Amino acid sequence: MEGNLAKVDFRSILESLNFTQQTGILGVETFGYEYYFQKKGESLLEEISFIFFVEGKIAYAFKNNDNLQRLQNYLNHHNPMINLPEILTKEKKHQDLFEYWLLCFLKEKGILNGDQVEKIITNFIEEIIFDLLPIKQGYFIFEKNFLIKPLITCKEVFPLVSKIMKQLQVWKQFYPSIIHPYQCPVITDEVNLRAALSTNAYDFLYRWSDGKTNLRQLSRYLDRDLITIAKAIFPCLERGWVHLLNPETINSSQEKVPSQVSRFSFQSTTLPPHLFCITNETQMIIEIETALKQIGYQLTISRDTIEALSLAFKIKPQAIVIESKMANLDGYGMCKMLRQAKIFREIPIIMLIEDDFFEEEIKTKIYGATHYLRKPLQIKELLRLLEKYFETSIFANDKQ
């Protein structure tokens, strides 16, 4: 199941998946709120949202540009002393640990209780649905039969959509004073603002009106929905006591994505090529790590496709190797999901296949893989492909 949001609205997609009681993962590519502030000649920053369904209900949702920040925002409300990087370092966990599993870990350690974890996940889901329901441009794809584990909560689609639609109706009333949740307040008239607000309200707004903290973050800090925050700040905007800053369309700290990327143009980078390998076979991991270390390549390993889906957008590799037969979301589904994203549309993706059948070769092409290699993997075959992609001289010594 896949299509264009210009032809099928997002609400209909949710209701269809609910009606047919689907279990799987829905990927939605949009251009985010930067769409409204695009300057002529600039590229739009894409967003990929992933929504996990269990028998037609929503179990979890995140975006490709989400990191530990949104979780840390909610934790600041429950316990400001919780520092995720410190906890991960202390427990010897990877700093890019999949957010959902991190929540499970915090629950297991007693840092959060069950009700708090469920509330945070519910907030995550509502944020994503709020952002996607008004969107009329973008693409979607649904991959069946992935079950997120362990299952913490499931939200019925119809009550959720009904709630968010009502919020969006109210949200429209704030336009054009408030356009989107990622605008950042700054105080422009301290005297009148202080006179109008309670001491606590003024102190909170003064603390966070730094031009960097957005409305959504304020809602997380206070554990209030976005509409409540908007209602509170709207009169101040109308009177000119507070002003909202818009985020830059292209963040200078992020790499701009060219409109067209050549498959074999990566040799110009100043950093060594970065390979992302997704497999759960320990021996294969050892062999690939050993080989790439010798030629100076960067390597990131993931043993789970869903963790890999989140991690891929953080590390932005120049090439990806995926094992076709993986638990939950298989390698073909993973490849298809990645190809939906602009940054992965043209990079080399190598599929590792087991079956010596022509249909397996066809599947690799249908799902968007650049090449396939048969298992057991011959490391020299992989290195020759990498040599081709990056125009390096891996086998220079062999040719002499």
- Please name the residues in contact with 48: beta carbons below 8 A apart, sequence gap of 6 or more: 27, 28, 29, 63, 64, 313, 340, 341
Count how many Cα atoms sit within 13 Å of the Cα of residue 144 in the half-sphere of its side chain.
6
Distance CA 397, CA 131 (A): 54
The arithmetic mean of pLDDT across residues 24-51, rounded, is 67
- Token pair for residue 69? 């920040």
User: At a CB cut-off of 8 Å and minimum separation 6, what does 344 contact?
Assistant: 312, 320, 338
pLDDT band at 101 (very low <50, low <70, confident <90, very high): confident
The full 3-state SS of 212-274, as one line of letters, equals CCCHHHHHHHHCCCHHHHHHHHHHHHHCCCEEEECCCCCCCCCCCCCCCCCCCCHHHCCCCCE
Mean pLDDT of the residues in the chain: 83
- Residue 63 burial (CB count, 10 A): 21
Burial class (CB in 10 A: 0-12, 13-18, 19+), 40: exposed
Res 93: pLDDT: 63
In the predicted model, is pLDDT for residue 115 greater than 70? yes
The Cα–Cα gap between 62 and 67 comes to: 9
User: pTM for the full model?
Assistant: 0.78
Task: Provide the 8-state DSSP code for 37.
Answer: G
Q: Are the beta carbons of 77 and 93 closer than 8 angstroms?
A: no
Q: Which of 67-81, 155-169, 172-186, 324-338 has the highest mean pLDDT?
A: 155-169
Give the helix/strand (H/E) hosting 321: strand 319-323
Token duo for residue 340: 């939906």
Provide DSSP, 175-194: TTT---TT-EEEES-HHHHH
> How do residues 201-220 score in pLDDT, each as one tens digit?
899 889 999 888 999 999 99
Does residue 131 carry a pLDDT above 90?
A: yes
Cross-strand pairs, 301 = 277
Task: Indicate the DSSP class of residue 57.
Answer: E
Q: What is the pLDDT of residue 220?
A: 93
What's the confidence (pLDDT) of residue 400?
Answer: 41
What is the CB neighbour count within 10 angstroms for residue 124? 22
The pLDDT of residue 237 is above 90? yes
Separation between Cα atoms, residue 207 and residue 62, nearest integer Å: 28
Rg (CA), the chain: 23
Angle between helices 331-340 and 305-315 (to 10 degrees): 30
- Interatomic CA distance for residues 380 and 378, integer angstroms: 6
- Strands (DSSP E) contained in 55-169 are 57-63, 139-144
pLDDT of 276 over the 90 cut: yes
Q: Does pLDDT of 298 surpass 50?
A: yes
Selected residue with higher pLDDT from 32 and 157: 157
User: Using 50, 70 and 90 to split pLDDT, how confident is the model at 132?
Assistant: very high
Residue 80 pLDDT? 78
Per the model's pLDDT, the better-predicted residue between 311 and 270 turns out to be 311
> Does 269 score more than 90 pLDDT?
no
Residue 258 clears pLDDT 80, i.e. is over it: no
- Average pLDDT for 86-92: 74
Identify residue 89 by its one-letter amino acid code. Answer: T
Decide: 82 and 102 in contact? Cβ < 8 Å: no
Question: pLDDT per residue over 19-29, tens digit each?
Answer: 999 999 999 98
What CA–CA distance (Å, rounded) separates 172 from 65? 25
